[in-house]
Chains A and B, each alone.
Chain A
Amino acid sequence: MSVTYIDAIHQALAELLAEDDKVFLYGEDIAGKFGGAFKATKGLAEQFPGRVLNAPIAEDAIMGMAIGAALGGMKPIVEMQFADFGTLAQNQLGNNAAAHYYRTGIPVNVTLRMPCGGTPGGGPYHSQSVEALFAHYPGAHVLCPATVADAYYMLKQAVQIPDPVVFMEHKFLYRWLKADTWLEPDPLPIGRARIARPGRHATVVAYSAMVPEVLKAADELATTSGYQLEVVDLRSVKPMDTDTILASVARTGRLLVVSEDFPWGGVAAEVIARVSSQGFHLLDAPPLRVTSKDTPIPYHPDLWRAHRPHSGHIIEAARYLISL
Chain B
Amino acid sequence: MEMARAFDSKLSALYKAGKIYGGVFIGRGHEAIAACEGVYLQKGRDVYTPFIREQAGRCAWGDSVLLSARCYFGSTLGIMRGREGNVHWGNPREGTVATISHLGAAVSVAAGMLIAKRMQGETGFAGVICIGDGTTSVGATHEACNLIAVEKLPAVIVVTNNQYAYSTPNSQEFACKSLCDRGTGYGMATHECDGTDFLQTLQVMGCAIAAARAGEGPQWVVANTLRMCGHGEHDDAAYIPQALKDSFADRDPLAVARRQMQEQGWLSADDIAAIQTECADEVQRAMAQVQKEPTPDPATEDWSATSWKPTRY
- Taking beta carbons and an 8 Å cutoff, which residues of A are in contact with B? 24, 50, 55-56, 58-74, 76, 91-92, 95-96, 98-107, 138-141, 161-163, 189-192, 236, 239, 241, 243
Chain B residues near A138: list those with CB within 8 A: 305
How far does the Cβ of B253 sit from chain A's closest Cβ, in whole Å? Answer: 30
Tell whether A72 pairs with B98 under 8 Å between CB atoms, given A56-B147, A65-B108, A101-B305.
no
Q: Mark B120-150, 1 if CB is under 8 A from A, else 0.
A: 1000000000000000000110011011001
Q: Mark B3-47, 1 if CB is under 8 A from A, else 0.
A: 000000000000000000000000000000000000000000000
Chain B residues near A55: list those with CB within 8 A: 147
Does A139 lie within 8 Å of B108, measured CB to CB?
no
Interface residues of B in 51-87 (CB under 8 A from A): 79-81, 83-84
Tell whether A66 pairs with B112 under 8 Å between CB atoms, given A72-B117, A102-B83.
yes
Chain A residues near B306: list those with CB within 8 A: 101, 107, 139-141, 163
Top-6 shortest CB links A-B:
A68-B112, A191-B310, A72-B116, A64-B108, A58-B143, A61-B143
Does B109 lie within 8 Å of A64, measured CB to CB?
yes
Cα–Cα distance between A100 and B80 once the two chains are bound (Å): 10
Chain A: CB-nearest residue to B150:
A56
Interface pick from B99-107, B197-205, B209-217, B233-241 = B99-107
How far does the Cβ of A61 sit from chain B's closest Cβ, in whole Å? Answer: 4
- Complex A-B: 11 CB contacts under 8 Å: A56-B146, A59-B143, A64-B144, A65-B112, A68-B112, A68-B113, A69-B119, A71-B109, A72-B117, A91-B102, A96-B102
Chain B interface size range:
35 or more
Known A64-B111, A191-B309, A239-B310; further 18 A-B contacts with Cβ < 8 A = A55-B147, A60-B108, A62-B147, A63-B108, A65-B109, A66-B112, A72-B114, A72-B120, A92-B105, A100-B98, A101-B306, A102-B304, A104-B98, A105-B79, A107-B308, A163-B308, A236-B310, A243-B313
Does A64 lie within 8 Å of B310, measured CB to CB?
no
Cα–Cα distance between A76 and B111 once the two chains are bound (Å): 13
Tell whether A162 pairs with B308 under 8 Å between CB atoms, given A68-B115, A100-B98.
yes
Chain A: CB-nearest residue to B115:
A69
How far does the Cβ of B85 sit from chain A's closest Cβ, in whole Å? Answer: 10
Chain B: CB-nearest residue to A63:
B108
Chain B residues near A60: list those with CB within 8 A: 105, 108, 139-140, 143-144
Tell whether A69 pairs with B102 under 8 Å between CB atoms, given A98-B305, A189-B311.
no
Contacts across chains A and B counted by CB atoms under 8 Å: 154
- Taking beta carbons and an 8 Å cutoff, which residues of B are in contact with A? 79-81, 83-84, 88, 90, 92-93, 97-98, 100, 102, 105-117, 119-120, 139-140, 143-144, 146-147, 150, 304-313
Chain B residues near A50: list those with CB within 8 A: 119
Chain A residues near B304: list those with CB within 8 A: 102
How far does the Cβ of A255 sit from chain B's closest Cβ, in whole Å? Answer: 20
How far does the Cβ of A59 sit from chain B's closest Cβ, in whole Å? Answer: 8
Does B116 lie within 8 Å of A73, measured CB to CB?
yes
Does B116 lie within 8 Å of A68, measured CB to CB?
yes
Counting chain A CB atoms within 10 Å of each CB, which of B100, B112, B147, B308 scores highest? B112
Does B105 lie within 8 Å of A95, measured CB to CB?
yes
Tell whether A101 pairs with B105 under 8 Å between CB atoms, given A61-B146, A68-B114, A72-B112.
no
Chain B residues near A98: list those with CB within 8 A: 305
Cα–Cα distance between A236 and B307 once the two chains are bound (Å): 17
Does A58 lie within 8 Å of B119, measured CB to CB?
no
Chain A: CB-nearest residue to B127:
A68
Cα–Cα distance between A235 and B107 once the two chains are bound (Å): 34
Does B92 lie within 8 Å of A96, measured CB to CB?
no
Does A65 lie within 8 Å of B111, measured CB to CB?
yes
Cα–Cα distance between A63 and B106 once the two chains are bound (Å): 11
Chain A residues near B109: list those with CB within 8 A: 64-65, 67-68, 71, 96
Chain B: CB-nearest residue to A241:
B310
How far does the Cβ of A111 sit from chain B's closest Cβ, in whole Å? Answer: 13
Chain B residues near A104: list those with CB within 8 A: 79-80, 84, 90, 92, 98
Chain B residues near A64: list those with CB within 8 A: 105-109, 111-112, 140, 144
Does A69 lie within 8 Å of B308, measured CB to CB?
no
How far does the Cβ of A124 sit from chain B's closest Cβ, in whole Å? Answer: 21
Chain A residues near B307: list those with CB within 8 A: 101, 107, 162-163
How far does the Cβ of A104 sit from chain B's closest Cβ, in whole Å? Answer: 5
Counting chain A CB atoms within 10 Å of each CB, which of B119, B146, B311 scores highest? B119
How far does the Cβ of A292 sit from chain B's closest Cβ, in whole Å? Answer: 28
Does A71 lie within 8 Å of B100, measured CB to CB?
no
Chain A: CB-nearest residue to B116:
A72
Cα–Cα distance between A313 and B92 once the two chains are bound (Å): 50
Chain B residues near A67: list those with CB within 8 A: 108-109, 112
Chain B: CB-nearest residue to A76:
B112
Tell whether A96 pairs with B143 under 8 Å between CB atoms, given A64-B105, A64-B107.
no
Cα–Cα distance between A152 and B120 once the two chains are bound (Å): 27
Chain B: CB-nearest residue to A68:
B112
Chain B residues near A63: list those with CB within 8 A: 108
Cα–Cα distance between A24 and B119 once the two chains are bound (Å): 10
Cα–Cα distance between A63 and B304 once the two chains are bound (Å): 23
Chain A residues near B305: list those with CB within 8 A: 98-99, 101-102, 138-139
Interchain CB contact (< 8 A) of A72 among B100, B107, B108, B115: B115
How far does the Cβ of B151 sit from chain A's closest Cβ, in whole Å? Answer: 8
Interchain CB contact (< 8 A) of A191 among B111, B139, B311: B311
Chain B residues near A163: list those with CB within 8 A: 306-308
